[in-house]
Amino acid sequence: MRVEELIKRITKIEYGDKMLNKGINGLKKGEFVLIYDDDKRESETDMVIGAEFVTGSQVATMRQDGGGLICTCIHPNFCDKIGLPFMNDIMEVAKDKFPILGKLTPNDIPYDERSSFSLWVNNRKTFTGITDNDRALTISSVAKLCKEGRFDQFGTEFRSPGHVSLLRGADGLLKRRKGHTELSLSLAEIVGIAPVTVVCEMMDGERKESRSIESAENYAKEHDLAFLDGNKIIDEYLKLF
Where in the sequence numbering do the catalytic residues fall? 46, 71, 111, 122, 163, 201
Sign of torsion over alpha carbons 177, 239, 79, 179: negative
- How far apart are the C-alpha atoms of 144 and 72, rounded to whole Å? 13
- How far apart are the C-alpha atoms of 166 and 197, rounded to whole Å? 10
Question: Nearest Cα to 7, choosing from 241, 190, 233?
Answer: 190
Which of helix, strand or coil describes residue 15? helix
- How far apart are the C-alpha atoms of 109 and 74, rounded to whole Å? 21
- Beta strand pairing status for 117-123 and 158-168? antiparallel
Question: Nearest Cα to 139, choosing from 74, 87, 186?
Answer: 74
- How far apart are the C-alpha atoms of 14 and 25, rounded to whole Å? 9
Question: Nearest Cα to 224, choosing from 10, 16, 11, 23?
Answer: 23
